[in-house]
Amino acid sequence: MAITKTKFINYIRCPRYASLDDIKKEKLDSIVTIDEYKNEEKETKIKEILNTMFDENGNDLIDVTSEHLETMLPYYNEVELLAGHIAPKYFDGTFKYSKTTYNQESFDCLINNIRYICYVDIYNENKDGFNIIEVKATTTKKYLELGTKENSIFMKDEKGIYKLLEDLNVKIEDYMDIETYEKQRAKLFDKYTGPGHYVYDLAVQRYIIENDLKQNNDNRKVKYYLAVLNSNYIFDGKYENDIPKYDEINGEDIISYIDMTSITESMMDKIMLDARRIEDYVNDLHADQVPLGKYCENKKVTKCKYCKVCWNILPKKHAITCYIDNHHGFTKDKIKYSTFDLINDGKVSMLDIDESYLTREKNKIQRRAVETNAPYMNKQKIIDGIKQIKYPIYHLDFETFPCPLPRYRGEKPYTQSVFQFSLHIEKEEGKCDKEKDHYGYLAKDHKDHREELIKMMCDLIGEGTVLVYNDSFEKSRIKELSEIFVDYKSKLLKINSQIFDLMNIVKTRSKMYEELGYDKEEAKMLNYYHPDMDGSYSIKKVLPIFSNLTYKGMEVANGVEALVTYAKFPKMNELDYKHKYQKLVEYCQQDTYAMYKVLEGLKKTIK
Ligand code: SF4
């Protein structure tokens, strides 16, 4: 049988994966076909893009379809080609890379009757040996933020390649204390964290390559790099034939290279042990339930494809994972339990654990709401929150496209590029018609329409409150636009100062309530909780509690579908385009009308 790099990373999750993966059938095949390999690689890489696109604003990524993945593929291909084009600036020698796996350099080795195979994104041969450069559509931010506020554990060498401080001729203590350095560096070894995920991937690659070389008595020197998008790269807006030109700007290239040679070397023993474990798993093939763990990566794009099978031991409603902040664990009699400890001990529902496990006040509130099947509310806090809102209310929402490659002037990789806004104006209390009081802008194509959008938004918003749901997202977008479109800066900053977060009232915001005179404890306490919310304050969960308005049956019904629809605009025929354009307008319109309905519902609740 053959194990590809992607299979390796999946099989090591737990003993059950391999058996669920119908390994028996695959065991009959002596080798994985190139098409199988290509499809695996493609899916993994596009999932990585979506993961990076959404991990900052916490969208629910459970149902990413193959259509979503397909739409993102061209963006990944572009990143890979750019990494190949730019590499000769940083590395000597010859290069082999291609957007099809068929033409990439491959390595394979036979260990204990299992063939391990991998293909290399960029193969760079030089006089000393060769370099392996794996391209990941993630950003340098993940790596550079490891360290302290001032310094990262990575720094550029004289060629401009990022290296760990320990691999440079510097004194680590000049940058941070050793303990901090070690702690931050340790994150690279956790394959279920953002930065560690790619390092583990590269280490598996290294394991296969090293064994291939050993089995062929090849003693060439090999170095291992990641090529990722440079989060400090700001696109200057230059195009050639309408295609962005990513030249070096202010000493920054759009791709950065990170030397992972020493870190992957220190992982070789672990990867070897992992390989032996995988061999046991594929030989034993036990499909029995195994403990759930973080290796399932449930709720991430990279989640195990068998979550639907294994996680169905959790009830659909009021599962123990619905306790807010459950990832911090629970404590009983001074002993700490992780949520996984409790699930694997059969405590799968919120009520399966004794109340004495609940040390967080918000969890006690949740439990009481579930036990009594009645909502909890702090009426006075809601009343005082609502008083902060001034009429007219501008219910505002953006849709954005976090493109891996910046498309317009002033953008960086994965900038949340605003392509649509929706606005419902509630001129006076309770007066807002879904159609008549709705305004909005949706870019008609992928050209830069940001200024039209800004102008329209600025013209529509006057004095009053700009109401949003989860303000950090809208505030950040407006701030970014104000830096790029300086003519609108003062008006945009004024709009930002008028923003009020509806979630402050539904959930709470300590700072605001402390300023209103509440003591610290009450200020941070939840304002409202309904058992149907199941631990989530997303507008999609909150809306059905206060209104009959629903997203069910909408053709575009969530943020992922919205951006995929927009991404597909240039490929649609006239008829499809007109239809989808309208559906996207309706989706964003629903988001702002939902805020109006939630506010209306909250007011009724406190009457
Ligand atoms: S969902 Fe979790 S327990 Fe089930 S196969 Fe995947 S990793 Fe293993």
Q: What is the pLDDT of residues 327-381, one digit of tens each?
A: 999 999 999 999 999 999 999 999 999 999 999 999 999 999 999 999 999 999 9
- Asked if the structure places residue 199 within a domain, the reply is yes
**Tokens read off for 406:** 């910046």
Question: For 388-431, how does the pLDDT look when each residue is reduced to its tens digit (9 = 90+)?
Answer: 999 999 999 999 998 899 999 999 999 999 999 999 999 999 99
Shared-domain flag, residues 145 and 226: yes
- Asked if the structure places residue 296 within a domain, the reply is no
* pLDDT of res. 62: 45
- Asked if the structure places residue 293 within a domain, the reply is no
Shared-domain flag, residues 259 and 385: no
Number of domains the chain contains: 3
Q: Identify which of 11, 13, 285, 303 to mutate to test ligand 1's pocket (most ligand atoms within 8 A of the CB).
A: 13
Which residues' Cβ are closer than 6 Å to ligand 1?
Answer: 13-14, 16-17, 20, 290, 292, 295-296, 304, 306-307, 310
Q: Which residue has a Cα nearest atom 1 of ligand 1?
A: 307
**Cα 405 to Cα 229, 271, 402, distances in angstroms:** 8, 33, 9
**Cα 188 to Cα 201, 203, 274, distances in angstroms:** 11, 11, 17
From the CA of 292, give the closest atom in ligand 1.
Answer: 3
* pLDDT of res. 74: 85
From the CA of 305, give the closest atom in ligand 1.
Answer: 6
Cα–Cα distance for residue pair 506/542, rounded to 1 Å: 9
Q: Identify which of 9, 281, 307 to mutate to test ligand 1's pocket (most ligand atoms within 8 A of the CB).
A: 307
Angle between helices 574-606 and 559-567 (to 10 degrees): 160
Angle between helices 268-284 and 194-215 (to 10 degrees): 80
Shared-domain flag, residues 72 and 214: yes
* pLDDT of res. 65: 65
Shared-domain flag, residues 397 and 354: no
Shared-domain flag, residues 171 and 204: yes
Phi, psi for 444 (deg, rounded to 5)? -80, -20
Shared-domain flag, residues 135 and 249: yes
Cα–Cα distance for residue pair 292/313, rounded to 1 Å: 10
From the CA of 293, give the closest atom in ligand 1.
Answer: 2
* pLDDT of res. 86: 97
Q: Which residue has a Cα nearest atom 2 of ligand 1?
A: 296
Report the SS3 class of residue 273: helix
Phi-psi region of 480 (alpha: psi -120 to 50; beta: other; left: phi over 0): alpha
CB atoms inside a 10 Å sphere around CB 493: 13
Distance from Cα 530 to the centre of ligand 1, integer Å: 31
**Tokens read off for 579:** 């239809």
* pLDDT of res. 282: 86
Structural domain span for residue 180: 2-284
Q: What is the mean pLDDT of each run of 10 residues along the chain (607 residues)?
A: 88 90 54 64 68 53 62 85 96 86 82 92 94 95 96 97 96 97 96 92 97 96 98 96 95 97 97 96 84 90 86 95 96 95 97 96 97 97 97 96 93 95 96 97 97 98 97 96 98 98 97 97 97 94 94 89 91 96 96 97 93
Shared-domain flag, residues 528 and 557: yes
- Asked if the structure places residue 297 within a domain, the reply is no
* pLDDT of res. 305: 86
Question: Can you tell me which residue has the tokens 């300023």?
Answer: 515
- Asked if the structure places residue 194 within a domain, the reply is yes
